[in-house]
């Protein structure tokens, strides 16, 4: 009986993890199709997350984008854009 319960719990956990993965993929799709820049920052100013549109706009690589805010610099501008 114990083995039967353990198998049922394992299957239940597997199903829950699969659903979680599907929801994470769905959320990532929504975030990447929002027509705006989305990000989260750590207390030190470094970026925890920058969405796909942000990287497409700035052309910066992942690691350089995540370091923004640490050096006290301004956010990057798109080449040829008007000054802020």
Kindly report, residue by residue over 18-45, the tens digit of the pLDDT: 999 999 999 999 998 888 988 888 888 8
Per cent of the chain over pLDDT 90 is 24
In the DSSP assignment, the letter for residue 69 is: T
Domain residue spans of the chain:
1-33, 35-77
Q: Is the pLDDT of residue 68 over 90?
A: no
**What is the per-residue burial (b if ≥16 Cβ within 10 Å, else e) of 69-78?**
eeeeeeeeee
Minimal CA–CA distance to 65: which of 83, 82, 44, 48? 48
Using pLDDT thresholds of 50, 70 and 90, give the confidence band for residue 79: low
The pLDDT, as a whole number, for residue 67 is 78
The C-alpha atoms of residue 69 and residue 84 are separated, in whole angstroms, by: 17
Using pLDDT thresholds of 50, 70 and 90, give the confidence band for residue 16: very high
| Model confidence, pTM | 0.56
């Amino acid at each position: 009986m114990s083995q039967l319960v353990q198998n049922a719990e394992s299957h239940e956990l597997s199903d829950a993890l699969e659903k979680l993965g599907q929801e994470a993929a769905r959320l990532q799709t929504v975030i990447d199709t929002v027509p705006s820049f989305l990000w989260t920052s750590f207390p030190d100013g470094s970026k925890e997350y920058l969405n796909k549109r942000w990287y497409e706009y700035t052309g910066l690589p992942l690691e350089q984008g995540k370091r923004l805010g640490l050096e006290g610099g301004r956010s990057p501008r798109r080449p040829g854009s008007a000054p802020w």
